[in-house]
Amino acid sequence: MKPTCKECSYMRVLGRAIHNGNNRGLKGPRAGCYCNHSRAIETFYRVCPRSPRTAGFIGFTYPGEDTPQTKTAPRWCPLKTEKYGDE
């Protein structure tokens, strides 16, 4: 089975936004999700060397929630590259 960030123990929610007028009508502020795997930074730079994103950044949560919006895992996922090799 392919790894998914929503169910993975390496996923961390960091940096929740401030609750203000911009998200008052929503369930709450969104947060950023990052991969805490020890090889995440290395595989990110190897698979996506020209990406402008922060290394290890998976994506944002839905407002007020604690899981990433993405349904799968990023291309640079260390668990994917271990099992399937680099794409």
Q: Which residues bind ligand SF4 (CB under 6 A)?
A: 3, 5, 8, 10-11, 35, 37, 40, 58, 73-74, 77-79
Give 61 or 74: the residue with its C-beta nearer to ligand SF4.
74
* Lookup: tokens for 4: 């998914």
CB atoms within 10 A of CB 26: 12
To ligand SF4, the closest distance from the beta carbon of 38 in angstroms equals 10
Nearer to ligand SF4, 5 or 30 (CB): 5
- In degrees, rounded to 5, the angle at the alpha carbon of residue 8 between the alpha carbons of residues 3 and 13 is 130
User: Least distance in Å: CB of 78 to ligand SF4?
Assistant: 5
The answer for residues whose C-beta is within 8 angstroms of residue 73's C-beta and 6 or more apart is 2, 3, 4, 5, 8, 58, 79, 80
Which CB atom, from 30 or from 80, has the smaller least distance to ligand SF4?
80
